[in-house]
Chain A
Amino acid sequence: MALNQQKLISIIMEESRKLPERCTGYREEVIDTLSEILTLERQHRREGIYIKQKIADKCNALGRFLSDNRPE
């Protein structure tokens, strides 16, 4: 990828690590979700794919992960 994506991802990773660890592995899940959202957005820009629902699904999956793994 030509665009300086590594820098973008590294900043997003750093900022994600500042979030509270709401459950074990939460921050890593946030990083994965954000990477997927960024990829979808890029795909949308290039190919015009419909991504509204896909992004909602990604957020929803992260919500489920948190809800299932949060300590009582």
Chain B
Amino acid sequence: MRLVRAQFKNFRLLRDLEVEFSVEPDRRLTVFRAENETGKTTMLMALQWALYGEPALPDKGQGYRLHPIDWTESEGSRADIEVEVDFEVTRHNPTRDGGTREATRTYRIKRAAREEVTGTEWKRSTPTVNLFHLSETGAKEVESPDIFIADELPPELREVFFTDGDRALSFIESEVATSTKRDRVQRAIKSLLGLGVIESCEKRVKQVSKDVNRRVREEARDAEIDQIAEAIDEATTGIEEWGNKESEAKEQHDSFELKLRDIDKEIETVLKRGDQEELAAQLAAADRQIEQANGVIGNLERRHSGLFKSKNIAGDLLGSAIAAAEKQLNDLAERNEIPSGTIPVLEDCLKKGVCVCGDSLRESDPDSMRKRGHIQHIIDDTKQSDEHKKVLTELFFRSKGWIAEITEGNRSWVDEYEEVFDERDKAERQRDALSKHRKGLEIKLDALKDSDIQKLRETRRYYEQQRNRFRDDFIRAETERRRLESQKAADEARRDKLLKHQKKAQRIIADLEVTKDIEDVLRKAYQRIQTEELDKVSTRMNELFIDMIGADPEQGAIIKRSEISREFDILVYGPGDRMLNPDRDLNGASRRALTIAFILALTDVSEVEAPNIIDTPLGMMSGFVKRSVLRIAIEQSRQLILFLTRDEIKGCETIIDDRAGQVITLTNPAHYPRVLVHKPPAMDHINILRCACNHRSECQICERRNEDAQLSMAVAAAE
């Protein structure tokens, strides 16, 4: 999907505005040059409202006014609000020769609502939405616009594609608990990769499986089977219940973790006020060091567990057996006993409808059908007698790559293990020493007579107790859920074994098998997408991020790499693989670059064809990083629409010259005379104006005073 044009009527600051977006493939950037209070965020919201309706508004539109704030009675008691967006959709239709043909269609979505305004009160009617297919012959209405939009740009991805620079930071900001950030990252990845759909399907099939198990009890008429099926039923309910308890405990734990963080900040403030700056600084430093040490330990734990999944372990433990097996496979190949190639050739003949001798094997005439039957018979016979050869053939080919990989490793697994073990041991000892040091500081705090501090510390102790309590609850719930899961699996195996002895139970066995198979496929697909695609997003994010900040002399030397962990944490590493805290160790520009790299990587891996619309992405950036972020964002987006202030544009003019297909300047006339030089045309109301100026020019509408003049005006106004 690419946006082509939009028109806004009475949508907050946008009383009457029409804008166009660039859809040129080589100049896919559209820039809105606009300062604060000039309708940037409003336009971002209006576009989302047009496409998604009320759910795109704050609080899903509840209590959120759409009509302009300066709406007066003279304009009437009814404000008609309307947003119209034209967009293109390109479909890749398959052609007869196996290729694809692109077909682009243009659509117009129009969402409208009426607000009855009485003084400061207002009430909005249910918005209406219409979608039209625009063609040379006219406009044809399309049914179910919301379904159409949901197909093109799923609502769960809305916040990834429509984002503002500040909100994007929520993936890494320190004001929220680690788990909250994790949830945000996880949610974005899940939405983009379609994992939510698989998860829901798995839940539904689990329910079907539960129902089939209940049928077992009704139909099997066997006391033992009945008892096992009942146990399975109870275990299924238990797994669900403990799973819920696990989530609740996690939520509570995270909430107290956040409270602890807040109260630590309060204690720090009170200490500073009471001339205890040094102690406050020591406490803050100790907390930071403990957090860093925990990060290092977490990283080492991951490396440690990763070693048990590495191919090196197979090389070390099974090296001689693998070499012997490889020799035997090679011997068989030399004797031409493998590979076994008859079956694929015959199957290919059936598929193509032509025999190796050239005879027809089409399904249309009886003679060919007879020959097909004969060939199928040969295939079946060969399959039976050659089953072991088939396995050996597969093993022969599949092992080619990984045997070399396993046996030619430079380092032994034991060496790697010892190295990680030592590092982990050292890091844990360091963390223990830091914890002791913090305890020492606590004793010093105890000695302080400041009642404010003691009260805060009392509250802190309570929060700590609660956090630990919920952490224990979480561990208990997790353990119990896992225990029930393994008990259920064992019971299911017993049930299935007993059922096999019952002649009448064949149908129900089939039902049990199919639900289990479907669940297995869904679970494995979920795990695969989660790991493989997450790795792709992580790698891509790192490439983009390093490219963005790489040559920045300040940050380039500190930041070595970034990744998204399996736990959905966005992590950044410095020299020596030391973990950095994105919120503390990265400057503002790098933090923004990291979040934009994350969003671009997500959209790239998902292959969703949609515009990236970003409000104030280059805030706090300058020089090389700013230009890199802009350049990379243009390259990575299918269509990029940016809302930029003049400060953000500064230094990026040449990139915009080269890559922007459309630059529009927006001006708020209410900024006259403090900011704007020229008096705007007489207007009864605030109405955002657009002019034809690009990022390099100014006119009677948009020309602004320089900062010194603005300051003088402000001082004069104050006097």
| Chain A interface residues toward B at CB < 8 A | 1-5, 7-8, 11-12, 15-16, 18-19, 22, 30, 33-34, 37-38, 41-42, 44-47, 51-52, 55-56, 59-60, 62-64, 66-67, 70
- Option from A2, A42, A45 in Cβ contact (under 8 Å) with B1: A2
Docked Cα-Cα span, A21 to B514, in Å, equals: 11
- Please indicate the chain B residues that have their CB under 8 angstroms from the CB of A46 in the complex: 146-147, 150-151
- Option from A8, A19, A56, A59 in Cβ contact (under 8 Å) with B525: A8
List the 10 shortest-distance A-B pairs measured between CB atoms, nearest first. A63-B511, A67-B510, A66-B510, A62-B514, A63-B510, A15-B521, A67-B507, A2-B152, A15-B524, A63-B514
- Option from A4, A55, A60 in Cβ contact (under 8 Å) with B193: A4
Q: B510 and A12: CB pair below 8 A?
A: no
Q: B154 and A8: CB pair below 8 A?
A: no
Docked Cα-Cα span, A42 to B204, in Å, equals: 13
- Please indicate the chain A residues that have their CB under 8 angstroms from the CB of B652 in the complex: none
Chain A: minimal CB distance from B249 (Å)? 29
- Please indicate the chain A residues that have their CB under 8 angstroms from the CB of B151 in the complex: 1-2, 46
Chain A: minimal CB distance from B115 (Å)? 27
Docked Cα-Cα span, A64 to B513, in Å, equals: 11
Q: B525 and A30: CB pair below 8 A?
A: no
What is the interface of chain B mostly: helix, strand, loop, or mixed?
helix
Given contacts A19-B520, A56-B208, is CB(A37)–CB(B513) below 8 Å? Answer: no
Q: Give a binary string over B145-177; 1 marks a CB under 8 Å from any A CB, 0 the rest.
A: 011001111100100000000000000000000
- Option from B193, B204, B509 in Cβ contact (under 8 Å) with A41: B204
- Please indicate the chain A residues that have their CB under 8 angstroms from the CB of B1 in the complex: 2
- Option from B205, B524, B606 in Cβ contact (under 8 Å) with A55: B205
Docked Cα-Cα span, A16 to B607, in Å, equals: 24
Chain B: minimal CB distance from A51 (Å)? 7
Q: B515 and A59: CB pair below 8 A?
A: yes
- Please indicate the chain A residues that have their CB under 8 angstroms from the CB of B507 in the complex: 63-64, 67
- Option from A5, A37, A55, A60 in Cβ contact (under 8 Å) with B511: A60
Chain A: minimal CB distance from B145 (Å)? 12
- Please indicate the chain A residues that have their CB under 8 angstroms from the CB of B212 in the complex: 59
Docked Cα-Cα span, A19 to B152, in Å, equals: 33
Judged by a CB distance under 8 angstroms, whether B610 is at the interface is yes
Docked Cα-Cα span, A67 to B193, in Å, equals: 35
Docked Cα-Cα span, A3 to B198, in Å, equals: 13
Docked Cα-Cα span, A66 to B507, in Å, equals: 8
- Please indicate the chain B residues that have their CB under 8 angstroms from the CB of A64 in the complex: 507, 510
Q: A22 and B513: CB pair below 8 A?
A: yes
Judged by a CB distance under 8 angstroms, whether B57 is at the interface is no
Among B201, B522, B607: residue with most chain A CB under 10 A = B201
Given contacts A11-B528, A12-B522, A62-B514, 14 further A-B contacts (CB under 8 A): A2-B1, A2-B610, A4-B193, A8-B197, A8-B525, A15-B528, A33-B518, A34-B201, A44-B200, A46-B151, A47-B147, A59-B511, A63-B507, A66-B513
- Option from A19, A52, A55 in Cβ contact (under 8 Å) with B521: A19
- Please indicate the chain A residues that have their CB under 8 angstroms from the CB of B608 in the complex: 2-4
Docked Cα-Cα span, A38 to B522, in Å, equals: 10
Given contacts A2-B609, A37-B205, is CB(A59)–CB(B514) below 8 Å? Answer: yes
Chain B: minimal CB distance from A53 (Å)? 10
What is the interface of chain A mostly: helix, strand, loop, or mixed?
helix
Given contacts A8-B525, A8-B529, A34-B522, is CB(A3)–CB(B517) below 8 Å? Answer: no
Measured CB to CB, the nearest residue on chain B to A8 is: B194
Q: B607 and A37: CB pair below 8 A?
A: no
Docked Cα-Cα span, A17 to B205, in Å, equals: 19
Q: B514 and A66: CB pair below 8 A?
A: yes
Q: A38 and B521: CB pair below 8 A?
A: no
Q: A30 and B154: CB pair below 8 A?
A: no
Q: B154 and A2: CB pair below 8 A?
A: yes
Measured CB to CB, the nearest residue on chain B to A66 is: B510
Among B198, B515, B525: residue with most chain A CB under 10 A = B525
Docked Cα-Cα span, A12 to B520, in Å, equals: 10
- Please indicate the chain A residues that have their CB under 8 angstroms from the CB of B515 in the complex: 59, 63
Docked Cα-Cα span, A33 to B521, in Å, equals: 12
Q: B514 and A30: CB pair below 8 A?
A: yes
- Please indicate the chain A residues that have their CB under 8 angstroms from the CB of B128 in the complex: none
- Please indicate the chain A residues that have their CB under 8 angstroms from the CB of B510 in the complex: 63-64, 66-67, 70
Docked Cα-Cα span, A46 to B325, in Å, equals: 54
Judged by a CB distance under 8 angstroms, whether B291 is at the interface is no
Docked Cα-Cα span, A41 to B606, in Å, equals: 20
Among B193, B211, B524: residue with most chain A CB under 10 A = B524
- Please indicate the chain B residues that have their CB under 8 angstroms from the CB of A30 in the complex: 514, 517-518, 521
Docked Cα-Cα span, A50 to B518, in Å, equals: 20
Q: A4 and B607: CB pair below 8 A?
A: yes
Q: A37 and B201: CB pair below 8 A?
A: yes
Among B151, B506, B521: residue with most chain A CB under 10 A = B521
Given contacts A4-B607, A8-B529, A67-B506, is CB(A59)–CB(B205) below 8 Å? Answer: yes
- Please indicate the chain B residues that have their CB under 8 angstroms from the CB of A16 in the complex: 521
Measured CB to CB, the nearest residue on chain A to B196 is: A45
Docked Cα-Cα span, A1 to B91, in Å, equals: 9
- Please indicate the chain A residues that have their CB under 8 angstroms from the CB of B194 in the complex: 3-5, 8
- Please indicate the chain B residues that have their CB under 8 angstroms from the CB of A7 in the complex: 529, 607
Judged by a CB distance under 8 angstroms, whether B77 is at the interface is no
- Please indicate the chain B residues that have their CB under 8 angstroms from the CB of A44 in the complex: 200
Chain A: minimal CB distance from B373 (Å)? 15
Judged by a CB distance under 8 angstroms, whether B207 is at the interface is yes
